[in-house]
Homo-oligomer: A and B are copies of this chain.
Amino acid sequence: MDVVILGSGNVATHLGKALSHAGYNIVQVWSRNEVHAKELACRLGADHTNDLRQLNPTAHLYFVSVVDDVILTVLSQLKAGNRYRDDAMFIHTSGSTAIDVFNGLFNTYGVFYPLQTFSKVKEVDFKSIPVLIEASDFTALGIIRKLAYAISDRVEVVTSAQRKSLHIAAVFACNYTNYLYIIAQQLLEQNALDFDLIKPLIKETADKIQLHDPSEVQTGPAIRKDMAILEDHMKFLKANKEWQDIYKLLSDRLVALSTKK
């Protein structure tokens, strides 16, 4: 199957590589940024373009892996260009854009959402990444499921609303978690301490919930309702109003949670 990748960000990059390894033939990479298009195309042994009118018209699959607010524009331009096979399939990779973004544009389409955090600095093993899929019809679902299983061991069919809830859960559990790591790092640096000191703790915290329910393993002064410590920490953070606000909001919630139990 010939595949065109539209996009050159983290998801496009990791997905392109995984598809290529799985034997799919990546024929072209499109990106608004020509340098990025070329770079990724080069790694995938594909052509590249930054002009949507120059897309390969004989590909079987078009993966649209661009930021959410550009998906509709890209799809509309593809449709307007009208240079694709009748049986071509269009797929986006977003967590938060509903499948109905394709409505009225194409006949055969789907969503392929890999639930993972990708960054260019680190390789990931796609096999362990859950892929959430959705499609316009059963035939399309069959194609996208086969594709998903070619690169991942965990594939689930979900609705657009479920997918959005997964994306939001991922924002909490990954994006915001990483932001808390940033705060921890900066706090340690300000106190002449090495971020390395806290890495085993971060690892253990994530390892623990692989086998245990997170609400069973919650620890710390807030869940113990140790108000003196919470107050003392707030005082320590007084030079940084932003950290204080976050500390307060989260500790309040945990104290409330411990009271509910």
Closest Cβ of chain B to A239, distance in Å, is 12
Residue of B nearest to A219 (CB): B117
**Which chain B residues border A254 with CB–CB below 8 Å?**
175-176, 179
Closest Cβ of chain B to A79, distance in Å, is 21
Q: Whole-angstrom distance between the alpha carbons of A41 and B68 in the complex?
A: 58
Is there contact, CB below 8 Å, between B246 and A249?
Answer: yes
Closest Cβ of chain B to A243, distance in Å, is 8
CB contacts under 8 Å to B, within A75-133, are: 96, 115-119, 121-122, 124, 128-130, 132
| A198 contacts partner chain B, Cβ-Cβ < 8 Å | yes
- Which one, B118, B180, B207, B216, contacts A121 given CB within 8 A? B216
B-binding residues in A (CB < 8 A): 10, 67-69, 96, 115-119, 121-122, 124, 128-130, 132, 154, 156, 158, 161-162, 164-185, 187-188, 190-193, 197-224, 226, 228-229, 232-233, 236-237, 242-243, 245-247, 249-251, 253-254, 257
**Which chain B residues border A182 with CB–CB below 8 Å?**
214-215, 218, 257
**Which chain B residues border A232 with CB–CB below 8 Å?**
96, 164
A171-B242 in contact given A69-B226, A166-B188, A215-B185 (Cβ < 8 Å): no
**Which chain B residues border A96 with CB–CB below 8 Å?**
221, 229, 232-233
Copies in the complex: 2
Is there contact, CB below 8 Å, between A193 and B166?
Answer: yes
**Which chain B residues border A233 with CB–CB below 8 Å?**
96, 164, 167-168, 171
Q: Whole-angstrom distance between the alpha carbons of A120 and B174 in the complex?
A: 26
- Which one, B173, B185, B210, contacts A180 given CB within 8 A? B173
Q: Whole-angstrom distance between the alpha carbons of A9 and B202 in the complex?
A: 21
A188-B165 in contact given A178-B218, A219-B175, A223-B175 (Cβ < 8 Å): yes
- Which one, B121, B178, B216, B223, contacts A205 given CB within 8 A? B178
- Top 9 A-B residue pairs of the complex, sorted by shortest distance between their CB atoms: A175-B220, A206-B206, A165-B191, A169-B184, A173-B184, A181-B214, A174-B205, A176-B250, A172-B180
Q: Whole-angstrom distance between the alpha carbons of A211 and B237 in the complex?
A: 27
6 A-B pairs whose Cβ atoms sit less than 8 Å apart in the complex: A119-B216, A168-B247, A179-B250, A179-B253, A199-B209, A206-B206
